Structure 1
Amino acid sequence: MTTSDPTVTEENTYDVVIVGGGPVGLLLAYQLKRFGVSACVLEQHRKETQDAYGRAIALFPRTSELLDQLGVIEPMLQLGFSCRNSVTYKDGERVIPGRVWTFMENIKDTAYGFTLVLRQMYTESILREKLQSVGATYHQGTECVGFECDEGTAPDGYAMTSTFRNAATQETFHLKSKYLIGADGGRSFVRRHTRIPFEGDTSEDRWIRIDGIVETDMPVTRAYGAIESRTHGNVLWAPLDHGATRIGYAYSSEIATKYPDGVTQDVAVQEAIEAMKPFKVTFKEVHWWTLYTIGQRIAKTFSTTNNRIYLCGDAAHTHSSGAAQGLNTGIHDAVNLGWKLALHIRGLTKPEVLETYTAERLTAVQKLINYDKDIAMLMSCKWPAWYTGDPNADPHLVLGQIFDKAAAFNTGLGISYPENVLNDTTSASWCAFMAGSRPPDVELRMPGTNQSIRLQKITPNLAKFWVVVFTGSSKPSIQRTLLKLQRYLRDTAPELTSHKSIEWLTITSTVGCSPYEALGTSPLGNAYFDAAKPSAHDRMGVDSEKGAVVILRPDGLIGATSAVEGGSIREYFSRVLAF
């Protein structure tokens, strides 16, 4: 990873230039480089002088799955706190059942049945190391001050010329690229310079977040907590990495009147202590604190009309930390854009595939924005505009109900995308899950060793589509079906087995000493035995007699389902891939 400053006169050229070296920009660059595309990340701040801790902390299960598929999760698991429990207190008494964070105790169909809590400083450090491991270029202390697009450039040409300024020397230099990505936060220069409207509003509500090492007499401390305070809203208690804790609370106008000189660290500590009453809290160390205003904003589009400039993360959308979705949503942006951009640049997909980025992510983010507005209001002990019930009711009860209803969204496991060129929802449903949704991470068995292995470990995000063939249960039927499909691939559609972006996988409920003996013929790609209980066929809703084909996108979502025959498979890929 290059960290030295570019020379003023040198004109460097990359496939993609990314403005912003936070987690979203780093992960996007890592993917692109890993997938064979050149990328350069430029970060305005010097990380050694920026906030040491703070900011985003929670990685929910679907985010962890994506990071796992990209080979990033293991060092995070080594440092982070795996939180599987929640607790709610009101007037010093534990509320049973709890409210708000209880969805974390009912996570299913994933190896990551917990929330991984890791402060952003450590997340960024790990991602910078990953970026270095793939030889990507990274500059810090470098500000983007301008860019322009040559509209006359060929589609695969270097249309973007960006200008950057070295913060230390004030010298400027230029970079050329095919694409420019704005991952530069809520005040994004890229978004503003492109004149993409940032729609939404800012409320009058303010929250404080403070991290440190604390001592308390609260009975349960290493669980995600919601303390229902009469004065400080729904108080967050979040166990952090390295034995630290985050306390978050509403800094109301009533509280603010106590401090006419403004908020200091001492004020943040004192009000955290007040917020936690009747429990006693003592801060042994303070690592970081912030006071910020709540608001929800979303870019009108996440890409320019010529599809040369894209927005990711906070540059595209901002919201409260109430549901702890900010970093998760940004990572989902980066993963969604990363594989689509890489395959497009390498000439492996149709242009329509890249165009799905904005539509898919806008759909998911708009749901979050709508949901976040209600959460932020209720956490501040205020009623949303739509509420017509008893104004004297307990807003914490409604808050708990909203979190419960949105559990699948919170974990990320239930996020899905509508029909488009990638998501063939009109095809006959050959399994229980629709195109555009995430399938369960089913358990399979390794031939020979009989070791358990998860589907997502077999189909990592390598910028490839996976054609997963679930065979029937009758060996003669399996032989006929596979041989017919193999002949079709050999004689009619050989491009489906030679394309760089297609991998094949066979899952069979018949078990033998080898895949060949279990099937009575050679499998398509590697084969795994469906010997777990419940079976993968049952979990996926695949007919055990007929079998089915499930095409997985590079991000692990279902692209299409069909019978075990070549015509439907070829039809799907004819719309998606360039042959």
Structure 2
Amino acid sequence: MDPDSKTTEYDVVIVGGGPVGLLMAYQLRRFGISACVLEQHEKETQDAYGRAIALFPRTTEQLDQLDLIEPMLQLGFACRTSVTYKDGERVIPGRVWTFMENIKDTAYDFTLVLRQMYTEAILREKLDSVGAPYYQGIECIDFKTEESAQSESHPVTSVFKDKKTGREFQLKSKYLVGADGGRSFVRGHAGIPFEGDTTEDKWIRIDGIVETDMPITRSYGAIESRTHGNILWAPLDHGATRIGYAYSAEIAARYPDGVTQEVAEREAIEAMKPFKVKFKEVHWWTLYTIGQRIAKDFSAHDRIFLCGDAAHTHSSGAAQGLNTGIHDAVNLAWKLALQIRGLARDDVLKTYSPERMSAVQRLISYDRDIATLMSHKWPSWYEGDRDADPYLLLGEIFEEAASFNTGLGIAYAANSINRESPVDGGVAPGSRPPDVELTAPGTNQKVRFQRVTRNMARFWIVVCTGDVELTRTSLLGLGKFLESAAELTAHEAIGWVTICPVVGCSPYEAIGMQPFGDTYYDPANLAHEKFGIDSRTGGVLILRPDGLIGTAGPIDGPWVKEYLSKVLKL
């Protein structure tokens, strides 16, 4: 980028080149939107390892749908088991991380552990492959929005400074996204309050190659200590391990000169007793203060948006930080893309902030409790026996929040794109449908539902046929309706898929007519059952581009058109 050149225009300018900013830009380019990323740090001089490590199932599903997951699977550690130790003895059943062992209805029935350094490198490579500009050492120092600008113009003017040369330049864009971390310049300059607090609790995280006599080492571990909190033992990529523990005031008093790597190692060794631990290599360590904060709004002036740590910060206790940021980016990207391309109605983009704020508020409420309990303290609301074991309550909270931790149970309330469904017992609008296995015509090969609907720039109309005789009239009626509704079959933001419980020599013969889009078989009625669709009468699901249910109903054209006309410009 030449600071002396004329002001450059983009659809979206993204401030912050961490994983969330990189993912935003990558998606937007895939969806046909011009975007660039500007990062104030030189990544080569930042901490090489550390930071976020855990990608939970819903996150990996989203990365799969964006064609990102394969290189991560090659490098990461797939963890499916957990272990809890207390006083050197294994606790059965375990506590805290046991939700990893009972993950259903997804191909990603594990936690993918991959240090952020590798995640970012993969995202930068992918970003380069789609031709999105990425710049380092560039700091955002100002921006302003022209309130009266036309919707198709570039009303945001942002000012950047090259930190090496000191030269300043401007960019114009339709939207500006702040993915610039907990100290976000974008959030502060937009005047969005960052509400919440910090505590007196501090934690240490230290990564490296270790030797230990602990019996089970390649499972996500919780080692229960009275002096160092609920100790995290996390197997990492490349044979490494992370140890995390509470750095209490009592421990800090032993080190009046502050914390060094030597101190971090020494206390990690102390924390793990009676197990022996030896660090062969230390890759990274940090000491940080626990707190929970959330932006009062995730958008400003309808042109400025916040994602990731710029919008919310919390402890690493439940390992949700990067996952939550990725969910922000996925939720926002398709809405921005459809808005910029002139395909979506304005109400669609306006759902970003309330949808993501609702999920983050739940996380922060939950995080306050687990962060306190992990430090071997009781939450302020607790009125039970203070001499009891707080780790028992910690385990209960993790168990109750299992579907939230995996991300598979995160759901959004009714709004302009999540419409109440008339299908009894179906998957609720705003929720994720199970990723069931279907059968491809001819080859009878298994194919996952999310693979069939993985184009995240479209609303998917999923026609689930039922008994051939019972549904023939409905299917013929839908086909007839679509003959005069080309806006539903030719629209670039609408895709069609047919799921049929009858296996035929061809899709045409299976349903007795031309199917709607590609057809896949559901011979065991598993998809119908999981989606809450009567296998006799069938039904229609409408998926949002991010794979969540928008609504559902009978096999009928008018209501499908009515729904789509309120979210898309038909």
Same fold (TM over 0.5): yes
Residues 341-373 of structure 1: CA deviation (Å, up to 9, x unaligned): 000000000000000000100000000000000
Report the 3-state secondary structure (helix = DSSP H, G, I; strand = E; otherwise coil) of the residue aligned with 1:89. strand
Q: Secondary structure at the match of 2:380?
A: coil
Cα RMSD for the two superposed structures: 0.9
Q: Secondary structure at the match of 1:48?
A: helix
Deviation of 1:482 after TM superposition, in Å, equals 1.7
State the TM-score, normalized to the length of structure 1: 0.98
AA aligned to 2:158 is: S
Map of 1:571 onto structure 2: 562
Aligned equivalents of 2:552 and 2:433: distance in 1?
Answer: 12
Q: Find the aligned partners of 2:250 and 2:526 in 1 and give their Cα distance.
A: 57
Aligned-partner SS, 1:190: helix
Distance 2:455 2:233 in 1: 34
Of 301, 310, 314, the residue aligned with 1:315 is 310
Q: Which residue of 2 aligns with 1:518?
A: 510
- The answer for the alignment partner of 1:429 in structure 2 is 423
Query: Which of the numbers 391, 394, 417 marks the counterpart of 1:396?
Result: 391
Deviation at 1:11, TM superposition (A): 1.1
Q: C-alpha distance in 1, partners of 2:426/2:91?
A: 37
Deviations 1:281-334 (A, max 9, x none): 000000000000000000000001x21000000000000000000000000000
1:461–1:556 contact (8 Å) kept in structure 2: no
Indicate conservation of the 8 Å contact 1:227/1:235, yes or no. yes
> Partner residue of 1:25?
21
Shift of 1:7: 2.7
Pairwise CA distance, 1:542: 1.0
Superposed displacement of residue 9, structure 1: 3.3
Per-residue CA deviations over 1:241-283 (Å, capped at 9, x if unaligned) read 0000000000000000000100000000000000100000000
Contact 2:460 2:545 in 1 (8 A): yes
Q: What CA distance in whole angstroms lies between the structure 2 residues aligned with 1:537 and 1:411?
A: 24
Amino acid at match of 1:466: W
The amino acid of 1:241's aligned partner reads D
Question: Can you list the C-alpha shifts for 1:444-482, whole angstroms capped at 9, x where unaligned?
Answer: 000000000000001014310000000012x23343222
Counterpart secondary structure, 2:299:
coil
Q: Which residue of 1 aligns with 2:219?
A: 223
Deviation at 1:44, TM superposition (A): 0.6
1:43-442 → structure 2 map (5 Å cutoff): 43-304=39-300, 306-425=301-420, 427-429=421-423, 432-442=426-436
Match of 1:554 among 540, 545, 550: 545
Q: Distance in 2 between matches of 1:408 and 1:155?
A: 39
Deviation at 1:429, TM superposition (A): 2.0
**Offset from partner CA, 1:213-248 (integer Å, 9 cap, x none):** 000000000000000011100000000000000000
Structure 1 vs Structure 2: percent identity of aligned residues?
69
**Stretch of structure 1 that moved more, 364-373 or 452-461:** 452-461
- The alpha-carbon deviation at position 430 of structure 1 amounts to 5.0
- Between the two proteins, the alignment pairs up a number of residues equal to 570
Deviation at 1:537, TM superposition (A): 1.1
State the partner residue of 1:471. Answer: 465
Deviation at 1:541, TM superposition (A): 1.8
Q: Determine the C-alpha separation between the residues in 2 that align with 1:364 and 1:257.
A: 38
- Name 1:499's counterpart in structure 2: 491
Q: Give 1:489 shift.
A: 1.0
Take 1:377 and 1:295, find their aligned partners in 2: how far apart are those partners? 10
CA shift for structure 1 position 64 = 0.3
Say if 1:148 and 1:162, in contact at 8 Å, map to a contact too: yes
Looking at structure 1, the residues matched to 272 and 40 of structure 2 have their Cα atoms a distance apart, in angstroms, of 37
The answer on whether the counterparts of 2:209 and 2:282 sit within 8 Å (CA) in structure 1 is yes
Counterparts of 2:31 and 2:456, CA distance in 1: 7
Residues 442 and 454, structure 1, Cα contact 8 Å, conserved in 2? yes
* Whole-angstrom CA distance in 2 between matches of 1:476 and 1:412: 39
In the aligned structure 2, how far is the partner of 1:321 from the partner of 1:461?
32
Give CA deviations for 1:92-112 in whole Å, capped at 9, x if unaligned: 000000000000000001000
Shift of 1:431: 5.0
1:453 and 2:447 matched: yes
Q: Once the 2 structures are TM-superposed, how far is the Cα of residue 538 of structure 1 from its aligned partner? A: 1.6
Report the 3-state secondary structure (helix = DSSP H, G, I; strand = E; otherwise coil) of the residue aligned with 1:13: strand
1:428-447 Cα offsets, whole Å, 9 max, x none, are 12552110000000110000
The equivalent residue for 2:535 is: 544
User: Which amino acid letter does the alignment assign opposite residue 561 of structure 2?
Assistant: R
Query: Aligned AA for 2:496?
Result: W
Tell me the alpha carbon deviations over residues 394-416 of structure 1, each in whole angstroms, 9 at most, x when there is no partner.
00000000000000000000000
Kindly provide the CA deviation profile for residues 4-60 of structure 1, in whole angstroms up to 9, marking residues without a partner as x.
x43333311100000000000000000000000000100011111111000000000
Equivalent pair of 1:117/1:240 in contact (CA under 8 Å): yes
Shift in Å at residue 335 of structure 1?
0.2
Distance 2:292 2:266 in 1: 28
Q: Select which of 10, 13, 18 maps to 1:14.
A: 10
Gaps of 5+ in 2: none
Determine the C-alpha separation between the residues in 2 that align with 1:424 and 1:381. 43
Matches of 2:49 and 2:403, distance apart in 1:
29
Partner Cα separation in structure 2 for residue 578 and residue 432 of structure 1: 27
Counterpart among 475, 484, 488 of residue 482 in structure 1: 475
Deviation of residue 534 (structure 1)? Answer: 5.9
- Name the amino acid aligned to 2:514: S
Single out whichever of 533-542 and 449-458 deviates more from structure 2.
Answer: 533-542
Please give the alpha-carbon distance, in whole angstroms, between the structure 2 residues aligned to 1:358 and 1:234. 34
Q: How far apart, in 1, do the equivalents of 2:225 and 2:393 lie? A: 15
- 1:128 partner SS: helix
Give the Å deviation of 1:147. 0.5
CA offset digits 1:464-520 (Å, max 9, x no partner):
0000000012x23343222210110112x2211111100000000111111011111
Q: Take 1:92 and 1:458, find their aligned partners in 2: how far apart are those partners? A: 48
Partner Cα separation in structure 1 for residue 456 and residue 82 of structure 2: 35
- For residues 21 and 273 of structure 1, what CA distance do their matches in structure 2 show? 35
Does the 8 A contact of 1:88 with 1:228 survive in 2? yes
Deviation of 1:540 (Å): 1.6
Q: Letter of the aligned partner of 2:250 in structure 1?
A: E
Tell whether the 8 Å contact from 2:501 to 2:525 is kept in structure 1 after alignment: no
Distance 1:166 1:483 in 2: 62
Q: Is the 8 A contact 1:430 1:563 kept in 2?
A: no
Looking at structure 2, the residues matched to 438 and 232 of structure 1 have their Cα atoms a distance apart, in angstroms, of 38
Contact persistence 2:156–2:175 (CA under 8 A) = yes
